Amino acid sequence: MGIDPNFDKNRETAGEENGVTVWGPVEPPETLGIHGTHVAVDYDICVADGACLENCPVDVFTWVDTPDHPESETKVEPTREDQCIDCMLCVDICPVDAIDVDPGRAGRT
C-alpha cells in the first residue's frame, strides 16, 4: 500500500524538520510520518533506493539519516519541494509508492 494521497486531510502536522512539514503520527524510530506537503514522502514505507533523488531533474531531494527505522536507516527528504516542476518522475519511479506530488498542495502546511 502506497502513500495516502489525502494525508493532508487525514493527518495532523507533527512539526517541521529541516524546513519540511512533518505529518504525524511520529514515534521514532519506527513511525516517522510523512515529510513534505507539495512533494510528500511517506518515511514509514520509503526503502531509500534513491531512484527519486538520482533522477529528479531539479534536485528536490536530499538524504537524511533515520537511525533504527525498520525499512532503512536513511530516507530521501523533499528539502527543496518548492523547486518541484510537477514532472511526476519521482512518483512513477518509486518502487513502493512512497511519494505523492500534488500541485494543489503547493505552499500549504
Summarize the annotated binding site for Zn(2+) as residue ranges: 35
Instruction: Report d(CA 40, CA 7) in Å as an integer.
Output: 9
Summarize the annotated binding site for [3Fe-4S] cluster as residue ranges: 46, 52, 94
Amino acid at 82: D
Summarize the annotated binding site as residue ranges: 35, 46, 52, 56, 84, 87, 90, 94
Report residue 6 CA to chain centroid gap: 14
Q: What is the DSSP letter of 62?
A: E
Backbone angles phi, psi at 27, to 5 degrees: -145, 80
Beta strands across the sheet bearing 13-17: 13-17, 20-23, 34-35, 39-42, 99-101
Summarize the annotated binding site for [4Fe-4S] cluster as residue ranges: 56, 84, 87, 90
